[in-house]
Amino acid sequence: MTYRLLLELAVVKRRQPKPDDIFEMAVQAQRARIVGAFSACLDGWMLYLVRDMIAASHEAVLQSVVDALSMRNGEPEQADSVLQELLTKDGELEKPLHDLGLLPSGKTPVDKPLSRLADLVRDATTPKSGNLPRWDGKLQELAVIRSALNAGAGSPIVLPVTWLLVRERVGDLSRVPQTMEGLLSYQGFWRMGISSVILPGLEDMLRRGTTIRNAAYELTVRTVSHHLNVAWGRLRSDPRRDVSVIAADGNLWSQHNTFRAGRTASRLPQAISWLRQLGLIDSNGCTTDGGEVLHQSAVPSLVGASVQ
């Protein structure tokens, strides 16, 4: 169905489709725009995008810590000193929230309660429609991914937004298909599972009345700890496989390797490449051969639907 959807998008958009075309379509609130045959496929890609956002946001924060450590020329630094440096740059912290339309009003907005940010996220994702909730507006996973990867030293403040947006998208997971629920929480702690880590962790911070700044602090610590645990786990299984980018000795951190944050591998670029190699799409969209493939399919067409 994904290959068919890419061909349909090539027809409608009159160009070679891009991976984000799938993701943008997957989160559209107006489900009438989407032919029913593609619904399960797009639900799957929407939930994949949730995991993509989690990964990209945490990787962006890890990069911000590594970049801060790189300024020490390899010298160990107290972890708290590094975190304080990142999380007291209010101008850089406020910009991503402002760009996403989530900056609380008043002085020192990042010192407002996390519950205030939760209210802003909920307002920006209301009203919702569909069994798996969708909404209009710019606060979508792709916007958060781009904000996190472009925020530099301000990326830690995007993590609370990410966790809150996960909750708005999946709720308590009761509406998520069981097969998808397992993937969203795959390997629990080791993969930042939604049911075992994110939802209970978020509820704990809200219950404690944590501020937005302190939530960013806690989630940055969690990001580094998670990276170190994964790196040490792999090192135990294979002493030649050292994937750590931060070295930790007690409360001292130092840069161990370079790191650049990114998104997860959706394989959509490879799918688009195969369609092009098969001569089914080109820079102008769907080719004659691609059109014949669509014509032979029994799946209802998107052509004529409003998917622009």
pLDDT above 70 (res 42): yes
pLDDT at 308: 46
pLDDT at 305: 52
- For residue 16, being part of any structural domain is answered with no
Long-range contact set of residues 133-136: C-beta below 8 Å, sequence gap at least 24: 133/168, 133/169, 133/171, 133/175, 134/27, 134/28, 134/29, 134/31, 134/46, 135/29, 136/29
Give the Cα separation of 17 and 36 in Å (integer). 21
- For residue 88, being part of any structural domain is answered with yes
Residue 186 pLDDT grade (very low, low, confident, very high; cuts 50, 70, 90) = confident
Question: Which domain covers residue 163, as residue numbers?
Answer: 57-268
Listed in sequence order, the DSSP H helices in the chain are 2-13, 19-26, 39-70, 79-86, 90-99, 114-124, 141-150, 158-170, 178-184, 199-207, 212-237, 268-277, 288-296
Q: Parallel, antiparallel, or unpaired for β 77-78 and 246-249?
A: unpaired
pLDDT above 60 (res 304): no
Give the Cα separation of 123 and 264 in Å (integer). 28
The residue ranking higher by pLDDT, 120 or 29, is: 120
- For residue 274, being part of any structural domain is answered with no
- For residue 275, being part of any structural domain is answered with no
Residue 32 pLDDT grade (very low, low, confident, very high; cuts 50, 70, 90) = very low
- Segment 288-292 mean pLDDT: 95
Count of domains for the chain:
1
- For residue 222, being part of any structural domain is answered with yes
- Segment 196-212 mean pLDDT: 96
- For residue 116, being part of any structural domain is answered with yes
Tell me what percent of the residues of the chain surpass a pLDDT of 70: 94
Structure tokens at 125: 């994702």
- For residue 307, being part of any structural domain is answered with no
Residue 301 pLDDT grade (very low, low, confident, very high; cuts 50, 70, 90) = low
